[in-house]
Amino acid sequence: MIVLSEKIKDDILNNVLPKGVPLRQVELSKRYGVSRIPIRDSLLALKAEGWLVPHGKAGLMVPNLHWKEAEELYLMRSQLEVLLLSFAFDFIRQKDVTNAHKILVALEQDEITLIEKGNLNWLFHEILYLPADKQSIHKTVSCINQQVTRYIGFQYGPMGYKSQSQQDHYELLELIRLKKKSAALSLLKQHIEEAGEELTRFLKSID
């Protein structure tokens, strides 16, 4: 088996597991075909990562989505990712730009799922951040982006294809190619902030 906790995480992302009600260890052990021990191992790890939260005195649950959390996740993204890009900027090679471009092309496909789109989106940004060589920050940002993915299904679903975001991506690559650092940083900041505002606005509307 791959890793059980990753499988559970996937099911949280795909809204297979119910939100707001306690997850029962015996149910999960039947669903995943293992005993309660590896289930517990995974649940406790997911709790530590923020994927699950306590439910009353005992039990863990998938937290309900809330616009306030989404807003904060995007605030952290804009702060930390601009920092990463600023450190990475001078070390981004032509090869990185090419790889990032390939991701954008893949993102144009229609048949990919919303979750896959979220993953590709992070992969694109990650390529630009890796040359910064800031492992701790990168890990934190990666974690935040995984959390963001929980909201993406909602964002892309009712909102349809986000062409502005894709346009920003291409423009960002062009600015990097032209070594226009401050313009690139500004664009990235604005790009993340606008995506956050759009998502927050939508989540508020369905609240």
Binding site for a copy of itself (CB under 8 A): 37, 40-41, 44-50, 68-69, 72-73, 75-76, 79-80, 83, 134-137, 139-140, 144
Give the span between the Cα atoms of 68 and 185, in whole angstroms. 25
Partner from a copy of itself, DNA, none binding residue 183, C-beta < 5-8 Å depending on class: none
* Least spacing, CB of residue 13 vs DNA, in Å: 21
Partner from a copy of itself, DNA, none binding residue 24, C-beta < 5-8 Å depending on class: DNA
Residue number, 30 or 139, with CB nearest to a copy of itself? 139
Question: What DSSP element (H or E) covers 53?
Answer: strand 53-54
Partner from DNA, a copy of itself, none binding residue 58, C-beta < 5-8 Å depending on class: DNA
* Least spacing, CB of residue 93 vs DNA, in Å: 35
Give the span between the Cα atoms of 38 and 4, in whole angstroms. 8
Partner from a copy of itself, DNA, none binding residue 69, C-beta < 5-8 Å depending on class: a copy of itself
Length in residues, the chain = 207
Angle between helices 114-129 and 135-159 in degrees, nearest 10: 150
Q: What is the DSSP letter of 178?
A: T
Which residues in this chain contact DNA in the complex, by CB under 7 A? 1, 4, 22-26, 29, 34-38, 40-41, 56-59
Q: What is the DSSP letter of 19?
A: B
Give the span between the Cα atoms of 173 and 184, in whole angstroms. 8
Q: What is the DSSP letter of 62?
A: B
* Least spacing, CB of residue 35 vs a copy of itself, in Å: 12
